[in-house]
């Protein structure tokens, strides 16, 4: 590894060597750079298609014994992991910042998610996975129960923007459900995932159960999907469609959390100071590299000017930087391609008549991938950032004159991942929220209320995804549901001594009786 800088103060060669040794690799490697500085951060092993095959073989063998364990035994390493994870908070926050370039407060959001999510499943899994009695065909005579069996080995593909929220937060319920996992995190942000895998093994998870492979999707993607019993993916809508196509011939299930062009509505009765502060978090957390962040902001015409002034003033005052403290409000973008997209979207919009209210330019004085938090007005439909996902610290602000108009414009998108509504009347806010076509809608918050409600499902409508994470669905999607029904006292066919016509009459009379007494 390269000589350490201030941004890599404790990422020792020993730590890197230990955790990268978990990657299934036959010898290939690649280097990753620190977004804060552009300097080399670490060298990571790369996996071949053959390595992916080997990873599945190892995970499949380990999964047999794992699935046979009681749920309480599968939960035990997770509970230990949560304790150790909390105790080593600063270590994982440092790694997250080095590899993503995010501000520490946004790395802390991931820390919270990977503490609360696994803890939720550790507490609830016993009940969620327990066999459940179901009403049988006939009272007393038929005993029916629902059982949950693990899928087998889950193929997990997770992104760079929130590497452990998605990578660890989605893998742990798959493991608790009794599965093995072959996991391909994004190479740029694999260190934080590997650190968590290593910690899980220290806490008692079988070594081969959670396999990690790294590489280009073009090289290992087909093998990764072709060997999986289920696919869990978080990423772009374009990539999600390709995964669905590859999964279809084998009829395996999948969950896809995809892109968003998320709206925020500020109603005329909103607390504008709170709404402006909320918009800072909603639009610029993780430098806007968050699939549930706000990119379209609709403000009632009566409060439009006042809100924009407050929002712009707060945005211009934001502190940007690369320190490993909680002082900065926004960090760096992660990839050069993200900086290019953001720059192109803003420049094109300005050329076509958009107005820059705050920000609007890169900040190479802070680091190679910094871009100012940016607010645009006068954005029109012929501009790419109007409907296309920018995935950066850029938001466009629009006026509206009625509640109905705001809802219609919020829904005028092919996406449906997240939304936000601001009003002093919470009941009104919830009524508006129910009419927005998005998988999660937050009232008087941008995204955190829904994201942190681990007992409730989270995912997208329309082109924003299939399936849900969090809640019971976030665990049960990794299982096959099985019905076991046993018959006693009576057969379902006509007894030999009764003609079938008579038998049909008896059953018909029984149906009337069962309906009358609400037995059916």
Instruction: Show the 3-state SS of 310-335.
Output: HHHHHHHCCCECCCCCCCCCECCCCC
Q: Residue 220 corresponds to which tokens in the numbers above?
A: 């290992």
Query: Any catalytic annotation for residue 291?
Result: yes
Max distance between CA atoms of the chain, in angstroms, equals 93
Q: Does 257 participate in catalysis according to the annotation?
A: yes
Instruction: Write out the DSSP string of 389-424.
Output: ---SSEEEEEEESSHHHHHHHHT-SS--SEEEEE-S
Helix 49-68 vs helix 217-226: angle between axes, to the nearest 10 degrees? Answer: 30
**What are the backbone angles phi and psi of residue 519, rounded to the nearest 5°?**
-80, -15
- Helix boundaries (H) for 69-189: 71-87, 89-100, 104-129, 163-176
Please pick, among 196, 283, 291, 386, the residue that the annotation labels catalytic: 291
* Tokens linked to 94: 């440092």
SS3 of residue 3 by DSSP = coil
Q: Which two tokens stand for residue 496?
A: 């030999």
Burial label, 80 (beta-carbon count in 10 A; 0-12, 13-18, 19+) = middle
DSSP 495: P
Q: How far is CA 262 from the centre of its chain?
A: 15
Cα–Cα dist 286/152, whole Å: 34
**36 and 7 Cβ atoms separated by less than 8 Å:** yes
Catalytic residue among 257, 295, 403, 473: 257
Place of tokens 């390709």: 242
**Catalytic sites, residue numbers:** 257, 291
């Amino acid at each position: 590894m390269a000589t350490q800088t201030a941004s890599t103060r404790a990422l020792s060669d020993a730590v890197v060597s230990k955790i990268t040794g978990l990657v299934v690799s036959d010898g290939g490697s690649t280097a990753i750079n620190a977004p804060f500085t552009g300097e080399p951060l670490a060298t990571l092993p790369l996996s071949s298609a053959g390595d992916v095959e080997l990873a599945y073989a190892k995970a499949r063998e380990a999964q047999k014994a794992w699935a046979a364990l009681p749920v309480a035994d599968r939960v035990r390493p997770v509970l230990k992991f949560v304790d150790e994870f909390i105790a080593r908070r600063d270590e994982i926050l440092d790694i997250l910042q080095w590899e993503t370039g995010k501000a520490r407060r946004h790395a802390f959001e991931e820390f919270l998610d990977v503490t609360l999510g696994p803890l939720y499943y550790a507490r609830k899994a016993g009940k969620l996975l327990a066999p459940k009695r179901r009403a049988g065909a006939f009272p007393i005579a038929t005993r029916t129960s629902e059982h949950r069996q693990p899928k087998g080995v889950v193929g997990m593909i997770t992104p760079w923007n929130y590497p452990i929220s998605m990578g660890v937060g989605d893998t742990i319920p798959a493991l608790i459900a009794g599965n093995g996992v072959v996991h391909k995190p994004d190479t740029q942000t694999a260190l934080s995932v590997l650190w968590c895998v290593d910690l899980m093994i220290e806490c008692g998870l079988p070594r081969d159960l959670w396999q990690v492979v790294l590489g280009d999707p073009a090289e290992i993607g087909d093998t990764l999907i072709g060997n999986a019993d289920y696919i869990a993916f978080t990423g772009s809508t374009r990539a999600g469609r390709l995964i669905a196509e590859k999964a279809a011939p084998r009829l395996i299930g999948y969950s896809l959390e995809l892109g968003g062009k998320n709206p925020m509505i500020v109603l005329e009765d909103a607390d504008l100071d709170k709404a402006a502060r909320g918009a800072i978090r909603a639009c610029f957390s993780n430098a806007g590299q968050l699939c549930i962040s706000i990119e379209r902001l609709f403000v009632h015409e009566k409060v439009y000017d006042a809100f924009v002034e407050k929002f712009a003033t707060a945005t211009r005052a934001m502190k940007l930087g690369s320190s490993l403290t909680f002082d900065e409000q926004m960090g760096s973008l992660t990839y050069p391609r993200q900086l290019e997209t953001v720059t192109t979207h803003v420049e094109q919009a300005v050329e076509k008549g958009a107005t820059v209210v705050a920000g609007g330019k890169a900040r190479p004085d802070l680091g190679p991938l910094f871009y100012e938090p940016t607010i645009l007005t006068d954005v029109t439909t012929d501009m790419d950032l109007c409907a296309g996902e920018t995935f950066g610290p850029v938001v466009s602000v629009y006026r509206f004159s009625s509640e109905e108009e705001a809802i219609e414009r919020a829904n005028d998108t092919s996406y449906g991942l997240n939304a936000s509504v601001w009003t002093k009347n919470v009941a009104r806010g919830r009524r508006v929220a129910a009419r927005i076509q998005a998988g999660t809608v937050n009232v008087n918050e941008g995204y955190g209320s829904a994201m942190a409600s681990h007992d409730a499902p989270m995912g997208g409508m329309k082109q924003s995804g299939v399936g849900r994470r969090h809640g019971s669905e976030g665990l049960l999607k990794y299982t096959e549901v099985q019905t076991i029904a046993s018959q006693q006292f009576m057969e379902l066919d006509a007894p030999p001594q009764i003609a079938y016509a008579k038998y049909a009459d008896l059953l018909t009379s029984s149906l009337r009786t069962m309906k009358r007494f609400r037995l059916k």
